[in-house]
Amino acid sequence: MSSDKARVDTNNEKYKLLISEEQIYRRVKELAHQISADYYNKCPILIGVLNGAFIFLSDLIREMNIDCEVDFVKISSYGGGRVSTGQIKAKKQFDSHVDGRHILIVEDIADSGRSIKFLEKMFVDTQPASLKFASLLLKEGNAVVDFKLDYVGFTIPTKFVVGYGLDFDQKYRNLRSIYVLD
């Protein structure tokens, strides 16, 4: 599967380009500048949600011009399929001391809101100075719980996507663009 094509085929499925590498780069740079301004002189801890957000987080912090720290959590609700099970499980807790700190949770995609609520509960007892959420993608009109994102890269239709960290059965994360199942 090549990331430079408008359409790609894999495992007898067809994917079409949804968001190009160039569009992603421009938007990540804009988000990084906004986050840098919002956290000026605060040294936030950016907590990436594994596995999907690692590429987005990596590109985001390289464009930021403030001091920050990085940590990760790992949660899962998919179990290898294309549809969330609705049950969120923590697979790795954060390691940083976050009490009283500014925390920015970095997600690859937000859809139902269940993951955001799960993460919010995970961090609320740490009494952070602030707790905000960034997501590269937001699936439009798919929420089943009320949630808030402070930074959103792109709003997309409720379709299955791969690339730029997003996977199907742990594959296709390496694509530089984002593709939608056709």
Per DSSP (E only), the strands in 37-126 are 45-50, 69-76, 89-92, 102-110
Q: Provide DSSP, 129-154.
A: SEEEEEEEEEETT--SS----SEEEE
Catalytic residues: 111
